[in-house]
Structure 1
Amino acid sequence: MRRADAERNREKILDVARAALADSGAGVSMAEISRRAGVGMATLYRNFPSRRDLLEALYTDQVTAVCEAAATVGGDTPGAVLTAWLQRFLAFTSGKRHIASELLAGPDGGSPVFGQSRARVLDAGRPLLAAAQEAGEVRLDLTLEQILDMIVAIAAISGDAGYLQPILRAAFDGLRPPADA
C-alpha cells in the first residue's frame, strides 16, 4: 500500500500530465510534467519509470472512468442511457488522440493496454446495449463493437463539438429500428 503523500504525488502527476497532454499534445516533456506538478524528476520516474508508463496509466484511468460511467449515466429510457454513455465514450475517444498515437508509435507498434481496455469497455457497455435493444429502442442487427467503431470514426473527424454533435445525432438516429420493423 502506498503512503498517502506518495499517492498524492502520483495523482498530482497524472492530473498535470492529463491537462498538459490535452493542451499541448504529444510535445510536452517529462521534465515539463515534473515541473508543472511540483515534484522532482526522481519522484516522477519512481511513479512512472518511462513516458510510456505514464501514458498507459493515463489511458487506463480514462478507460476506468468510461467503464464506471456505464453504471452511473442516467436517462429516461434504456436508449437514452446508452446514448448518454456513448457521448461519454466519444469524449474519451476524442481526448485520447495524442496519447493513443504515441502509444501506437512505440517500438512494438502498440500496447496490450489497448486490447485490455477495449474488452473492459465492451463488458461495461454490453448491458446498456442489451437493455436498449430489449426495449426496442436500438436495432437488433448492431453489435456494440460496430457502434463503438462508429463513435471512434466520428471522433476522428476534425471539428469542434458544434460541428460533431449533428453528425453524432444523425448516427444515433441510425441506431433506431426502422419504422416498419
Structure 2
Amino acid sequence: MRADAERNRARILDAAEEVFAAQGAAASTEEVARRAGVAVGTVFRHFPAKDDLLTAIMKRMLAALVEQAGTLGGPDGLFTFFAGILARAAEQRTVITLTGVDLGAAMQGLEGPVGQLLDDARAAGTVRADVALPEVLALLTGLCHGALHGGWDPELQARTLAVVFAGLRGSTP
C-alpha cells in the first residue's frame, strides 16, 4: 500500500473510533470522512461497508491491547493493564457491540502477554501465588462485558477495580 494510502487509512480509523464512540450505531461514514479530512469515496475504497470499518477498528484495538500488554511489566503491570482494558471497553462499547465480538475468544488472544504480566506480578508478590491465568482472563472478560452494557461511570470503574485488585492481592478493598 502506498504511504499516502496508509496515512489515509490510519486517519480514517482514528476518526471512526472517535465518531462511533461519540455517536453510537447511528454514526455516518460521511462524518468519519469529514473528521479524517478525506472524501467519503476514500473511506469506501478502504472500507467498502460500515461493517468492514468496524471490523478494522476492532482488529486494531485488539492488536493495540496485545502490544500494550507486551510493554507493561513489573509488579503493577497487570493492574495497569486491567484498568486500561476496562477503560477502552467502556470507550469503545459501540464498536465492540456492533462487531459482535466474542469477548471470550478475544481474551484468548491475550493469553501470552497477560500470562507474562501475571507471572511478573506473582514474582513481585503483588498478586497471590494461587491466582492462575484462566481466572485473570475470566475477570477481564467479565469486567469488559460489564463495561459494554453501560452505566460504567469512572467512579463505578474505580470501585470495581478496587474490589478485583484486592482479590488478586489477597487483601480487602
The alignment's TM-score, normalised by the length of structure 2, stands at 0.83
Q: How many Å separate the matches in 1 of 2:15 and 2:145?
A: 28
Gaps of 5+ in 1: 105-109
Q: Partner residue of 1:107?
A: none
Contact 1:154-1:168 at 8 Å conserved across structures: no
Question: What is the SS of the residue equivalent to 2:110?
Answer: helix
Shift of 1:12: 1.3
Q: Partner residue of 1:131?
A: 120
Contact 1:154-1:167 at 8 Å conserved across structures: no
**2:169 corresponds to 1:176:** yes
Question: What is the SS of the residue equivalent to 1:138?
Answer: coil
Q: In terms of mean alpha carbon deviation, does 54-63 or 140-149 score higher?
A: 140-149
Gaps of 5+ in 2: none
Structure 1 residues 50, 92: CA separation in 2 closer, same or farther (over 3 Å shift)?
same
Q: Partner residue of 2:141?
A: 149
Shift of 1:118: 2.8
Q: How many Å separate the matches in 2 of 1:114 and 1:150?
A: 9
**2:28 corresponds to 1:29:** yes
Determine what percentage of the aligned residue pairs are the same residue: 33
Shift of 1:178: 6.3
**2:15 corresponds to 1:16:** yes
Contact 1:25-1:98 at 8 Å conserved across structures: yes
Contact 1:10-1:47 at 8 Å conserved across structures: yes
The alignment's TM-score, normalised by the length of structure 1, stands at 0.80
Q: CA RMSD in A?
A: 2.4
Contact 1:90-1:152 at 8 Å conserved across structures: yes
